[in-house]
Amino acid sequence: MRSEFILALQQLADEKGIQVDAVLDSLRTAVASAYLDSDTEYDDIDVEISPDTGEATIYANKTVVDEVTDPIREISLSDAQAYDETVPVGEIFQIDVTPPNFGRIATQRARQAMQQALRDAEQMEVYTQFIEHQGEILVGRVTRVESRGVFVELGRAEAVMPVAEQIPGEFYRVGQRLRVLLLEVAEGGRGTQLRVSRGHADFVRRLFEREVPEIQNGLVEITGIARDAGVRSKVSVRSLQDGLDPVGACVGMRGTRIQNILRELGQEKAEIIEWAADPSAFVANSLSPARVQTVHISHAERTADVFVHPDMVSLAIGREGQNSRLAARLTGYRINIRDASAPAETRGVAAPDEDEANEAAAGDNGASDAAEDAGDIDVDTASATAERPAAGSAET
């Protein structure tokens, strides 16, 4: 039968969510700490705990020698062989040094050390559990909403989602169940710290991996993601199997796969772009839904001059330059949108830098938005644009 001591340890382990061995190790550490804090001359000790009674025995470790020069750390061969005739010189020999009055004060110190050791073991258990899931999507429950972030309960631990990692415009309420990306698991002075995100680009990546079996199986690869959280994302994909359409695989039959992703992203749009080994083709694809006439690439300067029809200039740039900005992030090229009908000497750069708004785009936002909303799949630019359908409609 299991002793009452072991049963008590098991109950404590269940409450803390840790292993019984971890509790025993914590108890040994606590007893050793209490002993070393007392007036003792020994500093090299081991502690044994009786599994039946829970009684602690303290042993001092001494080296067997022919002639003792340090009585604290050494024992003579004759004294050692009085207990064990087979012990050789150089062996570590243990003697019982448990104080007869190892009582109330030592017990109090052991209790305090035990509590700290249990907290450390509990935090280590949390760290070990979550470090294996770093970078994955987990489901949690919102426990607090504060100015510095949203706190999400993830089983035995609480994670924080800072304002910078939230999707702009999303509303969070206490008790709400939420999918989050476990961004970081760190050990700090206050225990294991978990940081989660919904605004990170990898959140979109994990959603695609979850919804698209071809990505899980390695038949389709996500080559890059450019994201303005809460507004728009561009995801470039390529097929690793001949004859497989990577865009169609991500969209799914009647758009079911992309719609499952969009439901999680709220009002955010998502475009699926087919990756191309030719930088000119990839840049052209990335500017979807605008149709591109020609692309001139400067590999040395990492720039791309993109020539489009006059009707496509504002669409290629996007609202406040968003379309060209996301395309630049996705491809790694600085993209200059140029009017193909203008004389060569008067063609100017129309795409804004990262922090600049473009006046031409601002003056034609309505036309740009209307063109973006037209159609899901643009064969000419080898991309797919997915948006949430209006009430009562189905998107294909």
Q: What mean pLDDT is predicted for residues 161-180?
A: 93
Residue 24 DSSP symbol: H
Distance of alpha carbon 217 from alpha carbon 240, whole angstroms: 10
Do 333 and 279 meet the contact criterion of CB atoms below 8 Å apart?
yes
CA neighbor of 318 nearest in space, from 364, 382, 374: 364
The pLDDT of residue 298 is above 60: yes
For 64-77, write each residue's pLDDT tens digit: 998 889 888 999 98
pLDDT tens digits, residue range 255-288? 999 999 999 998 899 999 999 999 999 999 999 9
pLDDT mean over 137-148: 94
| % of residues, the chain, pLDDT over 70 | 79
Question: Residue 26 corresponds to which amino acid?
Answer: S
Average pLDDT across the chain, whole number: 81
Q: How far apart are CA 13 and CA 6, in angstroms?
A: 10
Q: Does residue 140 carry a pLDDT above 70?
A: yes
**Minimum mean pLDDT among 108-117, 151-160, 343-352, 377-386: which range?**
377-386
Q: If DSSP states are collapsed to H, E and C, what string results for 253-320?
A: HHHHHHHHHHHHHCCCEEEEEECCCCHHHHHHHHCCCCCEEEEEEECCCCEEEEEECHHHHHHHHCHH
The model's confidence at residue 109, banded by pLDDT at 50, 70 and 90, is: low
pLDDT for res 210: 94
Give 57's strand partners: 48
Range from 96-105, 180-189, 295-304 carrying the lowest mean pLDDT? 96-105
Residue 183 is predicted with a pLDDT of: 94
Model confidence at 5, in pLDDT bands (50, 70, 90)?
low
pLDDT reported for residue 163? 94
pLDDT value for 383: 46
- Judge contact between 249 and 380, C-beta under 8 A: no
* Residue 24 pLDDT: 77
- Give all domains of the chain, ordered by start, each with its CATH number: 4-121 (3.30.1480.10), 133-199 (2.40.50.140), 202-386 (3.30.300.20)
Task: Give the per-residue pLDDT at 370.
Answer: 35
Question: pLDDT, tens digit, for every residue of 343-365?
Answer: 554 444 444 444 433 333 333 43
pLDDT at 379 over 60: no
- What would the pLDDT profile of 221-256 be if each residue is shown by its tens digit? 999 999 999 999 999 999 999 999 999 999 999 899
The band of 82, judged by pLDDT with boundaries at 50, 70 and 90, is confident
Q: Which pLDDT score is estimated for 359? A: 38
- Give the span between the Cα atoms of 235 and 223, in whole angstroms: 8
Q: What is the pLDDT of residue 149?
A: 93
- Of the candidates 124, 92, 97, 99, the one whose C-alpha atom is nearest the C-alpha of residue 25 is 124
